Structure 1
C-alpha cells in the first residue's frame, strides 16, 4: 500500500472515476476559462472523510458514510485493524480503501477506518485539504520554493 498512497477525494468525485486496470482508477479534471485543459489523477486507493449515516450487518461490516457532496457504501469494515465496535451513526471518520464501484452509490472496500470525532476542526478542514491537493496534483497551484 505504501508505494501507492491513498488520494484524498470528495465522495462525489468517485462517480467520475474510470477504471484503468484491475487495481487502478483515474479521475479527470477539466479546468481553464473554457474548460479546455484536462488533467488526470491516477490512483489505487482513496481517502475519504465523512459522517457515518448508517451501519449494517452483524459486526458493522457495512457503513453508509456521507460528506457535503454525497454518500458512499463502505464494506469490509469488520476486517480493519482496531475493530468495528466504535462505528456508530453520527461519528466523523476517515476511510481509506479500494474503490469497488463508481456508479450509483459508489462503494469502497475499507482498508483503514479512523474515528476523527474528537476533533471537529478535521471535518471543517477536509474540503480545503481535498481542494488544495487536487490543485497541486493538476498543477493549478504550485508551491513557491525558496530561490525560485
Structure 2
C-alpha cells in the first residue's frame, strides 16, 4: 500500500472515476477557476473525510460517510487499525481505502479510518486541502521551498 499515494478527493468525484485495471482508477481533475486546464490522475487509494451518517452490521463493518458533496459506503471497517467501536453517527472521520464501485452510491474498502472529531478545524479545512492538492496537480500552485 505504501508504494502508492492516497489522493484527497471530495466524495462526488468518486462518481467521475473510471476503472482502468484491478484496483487502479483514473480521474480527470478540473477546477472552475481554470476551465481550460485538465489533468488525469491515476490512483489506487483515495483519502476522504466526512461525517458518519449511519453504521451497519453487528460490528459496524459498514459506515455511510457524507461530505457536502455526497455520500459513500465504506466497507471493511472492523478490520482497520483501532477497530470500529468508536464509529457512531455524527463523528467526523478520515477514510483511506480503495475504490470498489464508482456509480450510484460509491463504495470504498477501508484500509484506515480515523476519528477526527476532536477538533472542528479538520472539517472546516478539508475542502481547502482538496482544492490545494488539485492546484498542485494541475501545476497552478507551486509550493514555496526554503532556500
Please say whether Structure 1 and Structure 2 have the same fold, judged by a TM-score greater than 0.5.
Answer: yes
- Under a length normalisation based on structure 2, what TM-score does the superposition of the two structures give? 0.93
Q: Is the alpha carbon distance of 1:146 and 1:111 closer, same or farther for their aligned partners in structure 2, counting shifts above 3 Å?
A: closer
Q: Give the TM-score, by structure 1 length.
A: 0.93
Q: 1:33 to 1:74 in 2, by over 3 A?
A: closer
User: Could you list the runs of 5+ residues in structure 1 that have no partner in the other structure?
Assistant: none
CA-atom RMSD in angstroms: 1.7
Tell me if structure 2 keeps the 8 A contact 1:92–1:117: yes
* Structure-1 residue corresponding to 2:129: 129
CA change 1:34–1:52 in 2 (3 A) is: closer
Residue 99 of structure 1 corresponds to which residue in structure 2? 99
Q: For the residues of structure 1 that align with 2:146 and 2:118, how far apart are their CA atoms? A: 37
Show the counterpart of 1:55: 55
Quote the Cα distance in structure 2 between the aligned partners of 1:29 and 1:58: 38
Aligned equivalents of 2:113 and 2:141: distance in 1?
30
Maintained 8 Å contact 2:37/2:138: no
Give the Cα separation in 2 of the matches to 1:23 and 1:124.
Answer: 30
Q: Is the 8 A contact 2:23 2:100 kept in 1?
A: no
**How far apart, CA to CA, are the structure 1 residues paired with 2:61 and 2:30?**
36
In structure 2, stretches of 5+ residues that fail to align are: none
